[in-house]
Amino acid sequence: MLTALFAGPADAPDALRIDGRALSREQLLAAATATADRIAGAPALAVLARPTAATVTAVVGGLLAGVPVVPLPPDAGPKERDHILRDSGAALLAVAPGEAAPDGVTLPLVTADPAARSAATHPEPDPGAPAFVLYTSGTTGAPKGALLGRRAVAADLDALASAWAWTTEDTLVHGLPLFHVHGLVLGVLGALRTGSRLVHTGRPTPAAYAAAGGTLYFGVPTVWSRLAADQAAARALAGARLLVSGSAPLPVPVFERLSELCGHRPVERYGMTETLITVSTRADGERRPGSVGLPLDGVRTRLLGEDGAPVPHDGESVGELQVRGATLFDGYLGRPDADAEAWTDDGWFRTGDVATVGGDGFHRIVGRASVDLIKSGGFKIGAGEVEAALRDHPAVADAAVVGAPDPDLGQAVVAFVVADGAVTGDQLSSFVAERLSVHKRPRRVVLVDDLPRNAMGKVLKKQLTEPGP
């Protein structure tokens, strides 16, 4: 699974640079083995997942020992943290040298020291064994632990390497959190499997990305938006090979601005904790703004309507996206009820996302079925389409669209807009009506200073619709 740690190209002293600290693959392997020596046989290893070399050492140590790794967000509140530790069955908590356990955590500590060395060997774990227990965002209750198998992780990274032409010649740059799929599985294990160099910038600032000198860059829309607003930093990425955006839709104006400034049309991709990445634009394929491309090798997708019937692939009709293939998780830890809800009787995973698929197979994600498919006056309206239209207005910096209860329409289209110029709600509603069908226009526009987002840049729409204090 960690191919390049054992049989990669000639090692380099800075094969991995994480928040300023350089490691060769040989050093990482020796340090991770020292961690594996101490945790072998544990039921699960929690890792306080800060963007550090110690975190990577702990994660790789867990994988070498065949111990499922439970990344713990360092900013998790006591309730969330206690739930993850208790629910996962973690017996140990890995921390950096000199780091104390968070308040209230009584698990035995294991120091993951990047300077430690061990020449021991550990037997190769069963490919079907779990690699991670990753916790979902918990938008519909307490976070659920998704069991990600070693085989699924390897299959996904290999499919992405093929789609993005990701090789040992690349230098991957990102500054994403190491407790999510994007930053940890793709952004760390991807480099360790392909043999590319890795530069983790600590924080994903435009200046840090510009100075890194990479060929392959990962970012979420917030990162790319800030880069697009920094002309010098964006132009510094002209020498890169590929820019990859994910975790949330990339606004079309940001896509176009990056293309203008650095000559790269970003690659967009789609996935979730339970499925890893399943759909992506190819490095050698067409890159359309607002599209996440085609299913990866080994992945199949389908669109179904509320009646269970297939939805036409016409680029307009929306349906629930369902997937199956080698990249999918093995189920929710201790939650057979959640498993039953997540899988269809014929073996497809219900993503809970709504999408359209064109006649050429290109996928466009509309959003979550629970908050982004708005049923208004007998019409089904994708929030993402309205958001994209709003962002086309020169005075709009950002927008989030929701469906609000309405006695006449069922749901009314309501837009929360961050505006950087003088514009009224009526003007924005008319602007949308001129570009989309009239029934898709916002019935109400709320001007706000900012939109609530999670660590990966996704707008927390339930916070917009919840009544204030």
With a pLDDT cut of 90, the percent of the chain lying above it is: 72
Task: Say how many CA atoms lie within 13 Å of 280 toward its Cβ.
Answer: 30
What pLDDT, on a 0 to 100 scale, did the predictor assign at position 469? 42
What pLDDT, on a 0 to 100 scale, did the predictor assign at position 326? 96
**Domain extents for the chain?**
3-184, 377-465
Return the bridge partners of 132, or none: 69, 148
pLDDT tier, 9 (very low <50, low <70, confident <90, very high otherwise): low
What pLDDT, on a 0 to 100 scale, did the predictor assign at position 438? 84
Contact partners, residue 208, CB within 8 Å, separation at least 6: 175, 201, 202
Q: Is the pLDDT of residue 171 over 50?
A: yes
What pLDDT, on a 0 to 100 scale, did the predictor assign at position 458? 76
Q: If 0-12 CB within 10 Å is exposed, 13-18 middle and 19+ buried, where does residue 79 land?
A: exposed
196, 5 contact by CB (below 8 A): no
The per-residue pLDDT for range 264-313, each reduced to its tens digit, is: 999 999 999 999 999 999 999 999 998 999 999 999 999 999 889 999 99
How far apart CA 224 and CA 257 sit, in angstroms, is 10
pLDDT tier, 23 (very low <50, low <70, confident <90, very high otherwise): very high
What pLDDT, on a 0 to 100 scale, did the predictor assign at position 429? 93
Tell how strand 216-219 and strand 197-200 pair up: unpaired
Contacts 24+ apart (CB under 8 A), 425-431: 428/390, 428/393, 428/396, 431/389, 431/390, 431/392, 431/393
Q: What is the mean pLDDT of the chain?
A: 91
Q: Is the pLDDT of residue 213 over 80?
A: yes
CA 105, 332, 250: angle at the middle one, nearest 5? 90
With a pLDDT cut of 70, the percent of the chain lying above it is: 96
Q: What is the DSSP letter of 422?
A: S
How far apart CA 277 and CA 286 sit, in angstroms, is 18
Q: Is the pLDDT of residue 170 over 90?
A: yes
Contact partners, residue 265, CB within 8 Å, separation at least 6: 255, 258, 259, 287
pLDDT tier, 392 (very low <50, low <70, confident <90, very high otherwise): confident
The stretch 56-70 carries a mean pLDDT of 97
290 or 210: whose pLDDT is higher? 210
381 or 217: whose pLDDT is higher? 217
The stretch 12-41 carries a mean pLDDT of 94
Q: Is the pLDDT of residue 140 over 70?
A: no
What pLDDT, on a 0 to 100 scale, did the predictor assign at position 137? 65
Residue identified by tokens 């979420």 is 220
Edge-to-edge strands of the sheet including 171-174? Answer: 21-23, 16-18, 197-200, 171-174, 216-219, 242-245, 267-272, 276-280, 294-295
Q: Is the pLDDT of residue 336 over 90?
A: yes
The per-residue pLDDT for range 408-447, each reduced to its tens digit, is: 787 899 999 999 778 999 999 999 988 887 888 999 999 9
* Helix (H) / strand (E) containing 132: strand 130-135
Q: Read off the tokens for 26.
A: 């040989």
The stretch 357-372 carries a mean pLDDT of 87
Q: Which CATH number fits domain 3-184: 3.40.50.12780, 3.40.50.300, 3.40.50.720, 3.30.460.30?
A: 3.40.50.12780
The stretch 459-464 carries a mean pLDDT of 82
How far apart CA 55 and CA 74 sit, in angstroms, is 11
What pLDDT, on a 0 to 100 scale, did the predictor assign at position 41? 95
Fold annotation for 377-465: GMP Synthetase; Chain A, domain 3 (3.30.300)
The stretch 111-116 carries a mean pLDDT of 97
78 or 50: whose pLDDT is higher? 50
Cα 81 to Cα 72, 86, 103, 139, 461, distances in angstroms: 7, 9, 10, 16, 23
64, 33 contact by CB (below 8 A): yes
Q: Is the pLDDT of residue 2 over 90?
A: no
What pLDDT, on a 0 to 100 scale, did the predictor assign at position 456? 62
Lowest-pLDDT range of 127-136, 143-152, 172-181, 386-395 = 386-395
What pLDDT, on a 0 to 100 scale, did the predictor assign at position 141? 61
Helical segments of 119-168, H only = 150-164
Residue identified by tokens 């994660």 is 59
Lowest-pLDDT range of 29-43, 263-277, 332-346, 422-436 = 422-436
Amino acid at 352: G
Cα 175 to Cα 165, 201, 362, distances in angstroms: 21, 5, 29
Q: Is the pLDDT of residue 389 over 90?
A: no
Amino acid at 23: L
